Structure 1
Amino acid sequence: MWSNLPFDVLAKIFSFLSPDSLARARSTCRHWNACVDTYPIATSFILLSLHHRAWFLALPTRNRGQHCYVHNPVIDNWHLLSLDFLPDPVRPVASIGALILVRPTNCTVLQLTLCNPFTRQFRYLPMSNIIRTNPAVGVVTLDSVQHGPNPNFRVYVAGGMSEAPRGGAMYELKLEMYDSMDDTWHVVGFVPTEFAVRLTVWTPNESVYSNGVLYWMTSARAYSVMGYEIDGHRWRGFGVPMADKLEFAALLCRNGGLTLVGGASEGEACIWELKEGDRWG
């Protein structure tokens, strides 16, 4: 009976499955696998999220093997997923719908890859127009899903080192943006030299997007934050609380706003939210 169901009916049923169940379902037979490929929007993250709470995914921060951990909130259970299908060891850049954008850890030249740890599929994004090493990367997820099973997105690359016109290397000042809608990189602006240096040398983590601004935190003491206003094409920088005393600090988006989590070696972790005028509260 199941093999005779029309694809649109079967796809509707699949839309109620959790990510792990969908991955197992598509591996059952060629008919079901073809259904998932033929009706990607019906089995996309957007519709899945209507029926299932979001899963939490974590990758090790140090080289402890090619794997990641995912938490299923429905049954409150953790899963270990191997990433050995990827050709290189990676660290995460951002989640994009049901996919993960990653970058290699064994090469300084930026090569971004989209992967699905459940279906064990991946594809490389095109190389940027400017070959650069150790740049900062930021991701903005767009609302539209009309062009594929996941939201459209844009990737911003800032800083890094590139080849100088007369040989050697220089800090790259051009800001590039990859648009998933046309699968192409574009030069969209410039980065102040001071910011380009900090983004290259002192920015080990990726960005956080909040209210039209991409934020990066520098790891050099004292900690500080850099922001790029996408619509206005403006850069700005500001400090963080206890900047010279923090032993660890990280940015995240909470309730739509920028949040800072940090703490000293002998104290408890603290949480601050960014208010108007770049004030922390």
Structure 2
Amino acid sequence: MWSNLPFDILAKVFSFLSPDSLACARSACRHWHTCAGTYPSSLTLPQHHQAWFLALPTRSRGQRCYVHNPVINNWHMLSFDFLPDPIRPVASIGTLILVRPTNCTILQLALCNPFTRQFRYLPMLNITRTNPAVGVVTLESGHHGPNPQFRVYVAGGMSEAPRGGATYEATLEMYDSVDDTWQITGFMPTEFAVRLTVWTPNESVYSNGVMYWMTSARAYSVMGYEINSNTWRELSVPMADRLEFAALLWRNGRLTLAGGTSGGDACIWELKEGDDWCLIDKVPSELGMKFLGGKRSWRSTKCVGSEGAICLYRELGSGMVMWREIEEKSEKREWFWVEGCHFIGGKQVQNLAIKGVFLQPNLAPSCILN
């Protein structure tokens, strides 16, 4: 029966498979392999698939990354031997990762699909910058496909002064994927440029026309850039002077904040109208104790979020605390434990410092990476 199914029906069936299952299906027979190649939509995962957690070593330990498959609760290793340079992730864009090479202090950005082994540098910025803040806006068109339309904003950073030395760059540049060009779009107070350069870890969240960055100067605070009006503002953070870690997250279009205090809980807040933060959840105490290992300190905790998911993590071998929505567009959610990566294919994996990102895996080639 399966060999007699029309290609369009078979492709629809394939679209419900996770990437590892789809890869197995493609290798089953010539008919299925041809179907997957003829109907590339079968390689594009729909929105109902859960995002995967990608862990990239923060120090160069060979060209590879580690991936957690939430469907079968298993870890895989992906080789990055196709990359020209070691990289660090900046943000996910649909089914692609925005990355930056780590072997150069000057910012240059690139796009990568680790599953199709495609990679392409973006054009160089108009102004040479070191350590600026980076933000991403993914447009609705192609948000979940292999060829998303997006814009990248780069603010602040250090640049060369006209008479030698270096100075804080008080300008903002924007990259548009449609035009494949950078342009200077605005300015900022020098004080903001300093804070974005020195006290911002590069993670950003875009929500309702505003690009947000977390800054850790003295107490935590949030800096916001309103794109349409080209204005800057600052937001307070709940328990700002007591938090041991704080991270901005994107969750279903809303600005969300995760943070934890010494001897206390890790909490999740959501920004409401009037720039008020509302506590929406806490990490269950038993999971928090397991995550901390009895140390009662949230220092060195990292956090990443995606549509309907939040992950607290540390090193590759450490366990992760995961938060997921049970039903789409529902307030029902659950916390659970994910074991760290210790073995892959029966071989022990060295514990590494990592930078994590959520990604919708996709096996369809992307034309914007050609």
TM range (shorter): 0.7 to 0.9
Residue 63 of structure 1 aligns to which amino acid in structure 2?
Answer: R
Residue 257 of structure 2 aligns to which amino acid in structure 1?
Answer: L
Q: Deviations over 1:144-166 (max 9, x none)?
A: 139x8322000000000112222
| 1:223 matched residue in structure 2 | 220
Assess, with a 3 A threshold, how the Cα gap between structure 1 residues 270 and 162 changes in structure 2: closer, same or farther. same
C-alpha displacement at 1:76, in angstroms?
A: 2.8
| 1:232 matched residue in structure 2 | 229
C-alpha displacement at 1:16, in angstroms?
A: 4.7
Assess, with a 3 A threshold, how the Cα gap between structure 1 residues 61 and 182 changes in structure 2: closer, same or farther. same
Asked whether the equivalents of residues 56 and 89 of structure 2 are also in contact (C-alpha less than 8 Å), the reply is no
Q: Measure, in 2, the Cα distance between the counterparts of 1:225 and 1:190.
A: 18
Question: What SS does the aligned partner of 1:106 have?
Answer: coil
Question: What SS does the aligned partner of 2:243 have?
Answer: coil
Select 1:96's aligned residue among 89, 93, 112.
Answer: 93
Q: Deviations over 1:11-52 (max 9, x none)?
A: 767645433455677799999999878865x2564xx115x5
| 1:105 matched residue in structure 2 | 102
- Does 2:81 match 1:62? no
Residue 148 of structure 2 aligns to which amino acid in structure 1?
Answer: P
Asked whether the equivalents of residues 55 and 70 of structure 1 are also in contact (C-alpha less than 8 Å), the reply is no
Asked whether the equivalents of residues 221 and 243 of structure 1 are also in contact (C-alpha less than 8 Å), the reply is no
C-alpha displacement at 1:69, in angstroms?
A: 3.0
Residue 53 of structure 2 aligns to which amino acid in structure 1?
Answer: L
Output aligned runs, 1:1-281, within 5 Å: 15-21=15-21, 42-43=41-42, 45=44, 48-50=45-47, 52-60=48-56, 62-63=58-59, 65=61, 66-145=63-142, 149-281=146-278
C-alpha displacement at 1:254, in angstroms?
A: 2.1
Question: What SS does the aligned partner of 1:54 have?
Answer: coil
Assess, with a 3 A threshold, how the Cα gap between structure 1 residues 24 and 182 changes in structure 2: closer, same or farther. farther
Question: What SS does the aligned partner of 1:111 have?
Answer: coil
Q: Measure, in 1, the Cα distance between the counterparts of 2:35 and 2:178.
A: 24
Residue 133 of structure 2 aligns to which amino acid in structure 1?
Answer: A
User: Mind listing any 5+ residue stretches in structure 1 that lack a counterpart?
Assistant: none
Asked whether the equivalents of residues 144 and 152 of structure 1 are also in contact (C-alpha less than 8 Å), the reply is yes
Q: Measure, in 2, the Cα distance between the counterparts of 1:173 and 1:36.
A: 49
Asked whether the equivalents of residues 96 and 146 of structure 2 are also in contact (C-alpha less than 8 Å), the reply is no
C-alpha displacement at 1:175, in angstroms?
A: 0.8
C-alpha displacement at 1:88, in angstroms?
A: 2.4
Q: Measure, in 1, the Cα distance between the counterparts of 2:180 and 2:262.
A: 44
Assess, with a 3 A threshold, how the Cα gap between structure 1 residues 166 and 116 changes in structure 2: closer, same or farther. same
Question: What SS does the aligned partner of 1:59 have?
Answer: strand
Residue 71 of structure 1 aligns to which amino acid in structure 2?
Answer: H
Residue 62 of structure 1 aligns to which amino acid in structure 2?
Answer: T
Aligned residues, how many? 274
Assess, with a 3 A threshold, how the Cα gap between structure 1 residues 7 and 99 changes in structure 2: closer, same or farther. farther
User: Mind listing any 5+ residue stretches in structure 2 that lack a counterpart?
Assistant: 279-370
TM-score by length of 2: 0.65
CA RMSD of aligned residues (A): 3.1
Asked whether the equivalents of residues 245 and 264 of structure 1 are also in contact (C-alpha less than 8 Å), the reply is yes
Q: Deviations over 1:89-148 (max 9, x none)?
A: 2221111111111112332211111111112221111111111111110000011139x8
Higher relative contact order (CA 8 A, sep 6+): 2
Assess, with a 3 A threshold, how the Cα gap between structure 1 residues 239 and 170 changes in structure 2: closer, same or farther. same
